[in-house]
Chains A and B, each alone.
Chain A
Amino acid sequence: MESIKQDKSNNNHPYSDKIVHGNSLEIAETMTEKSLIESGSHALLVYNDMEAFREIYTQYSRALLPQNEVVVIGTQYESINDVKNTLRLSGVDVERYLNEGTLFVLDAQHGYQGADTNGTWKFALSLLSRAKKEGRQGVTWFGDPGSFFSFEKIEELMQYELSLPQKYKDSIKIVCSYHLRDFEKLTEAQQHTLFDHHSKSIVVE
């Protein structure tokens, strides 16, 4: 796991201590086994291709769903059925967790570009409330904000991101999951703003 590293290449960079780099396998393993993302985190994930994102969400779901975690995958570039199939192929008992209400696979674009952008966030909070009542470990939310780029709504994206807290008191983990090709569309200043606002940033290489 040596290649998982914090970005110390530029010690003057204000975010160098917050950015973790690694390949998808290493990131997935560290997220699941070593709690790379702590409870209450609002984290930023930049994945370099779909295979990397699949690796991360499948490993995470396979490990955390049996531990009573609620996992939400807000997909942008794969269909909902494809995500479910990917999970099934990796050995996740998708039907069981869907029936239990601990696994949700959602169309991220529908959530972010629907009538109420904050509807996604409200839904996350309602899930958290229910998870508490049911004695679940917590809620992890992978959300791909790619639709903001498709609809050329970068200002709205920045406003939405900055409207979310940096840290949560509750046992929720929000992982804003950007495709690298989208993230590169942001200006350097916007990228820095996002690195600054998230409690942890993970870049898959």
Chain B
Amino acid sequence: MSGNNEDFYRNNNASSADVIISQDARHHNNSGDKPQTRLLVVDDEPDIVHVLKLGLQQNGFLVDAFTNPEEALQSLKSNAESYCLVLSDVRMPGLSGIQLAKRVKEINPNVKVVLMTAFEIRDNEFSKVFPSTRVDGFVQKPIGIRELTNKILNITGVSEEEK
């Protein structure tokens, strides 16, 4: 959590049930002429989940957001072809971001995984322990929504117009 936004984060709560249900990874919006990219966002801090969901939705993504990674996995299993990308915190109790990434790739290897952390990113931190688990990108928190959006677009290969 960014200390600069502490009050904002603390005053905005999202529950793990606070999700948007949709069917396909590249959705059509209300006008029916423009596909939208569906993301799965996971962070154990409700305030961060809320801010990310709001910001990414405002930038044109469809977002399902969870504070419990096990619940996020259930959603992925139920809609395995629906998501383009999973954006997850690294350090979460019960199931870490890297463990989540491993299971996401087992369910659908085409889904991209981006991990976020507020701690120093050490490149070999996870590769030693989980050598076969591929992560498509790392993000250092705090990060602005615009920068995060660009990162997601780069990784998914979706253009600004297409998203």
Contact = CB atoms under 8 A, between A and B. Distances in A.
Nearest to B44: A77
Q: Which among B44, B91, B98, B141 has the greatest number of chain A C-beta atoms within 10 A?
A: B91
Q: Which among B94, B98, B129 has the greatest number of chain A C-beta atoms within 10 A?
A: B94
Contact of A79 (B93, B96, B119): B119
Interface string B88-132: 000111111011000000000000000000111000000001000
Contacts of B94: 149, 179, 181-182, 184-185
A68 B93 CA distance: 32
Contacts of A81: 3, 118
Interface of B: 1, 3, 6, 44-45, 91-96, 98-99, 118-120, 129, 141
A80 B141 CA distance: 12
A50 B91 CA distance: 12
Given A109-B91, A149-B96, A79 B129 contact: no
A50 B43 CA distance: 12
A77 B99 contact: no
A100 interface: no
Contacts of A85: 3, 6
Main secondary structure of the interface of A (DSSP, over half): helix
Main secondary structure of the interface of B (DSSP, over half): loop
Given A82-B1, A107-B119, A109-B91, A89 B129 contact: no
Given A107-B119, A185-B94, A78 B129 contact: no
Interface string A67-90: 000000000111111101100010
Q: Closest 3 A-B residue pairs measured CB to CB?
A: A181-B94, A179-B93, A79-B118
A11 interface: no
Q: Which among A82, A109, A150, A182 has the greatest number of chain B C-beta atoms within 10 A?
A: A150
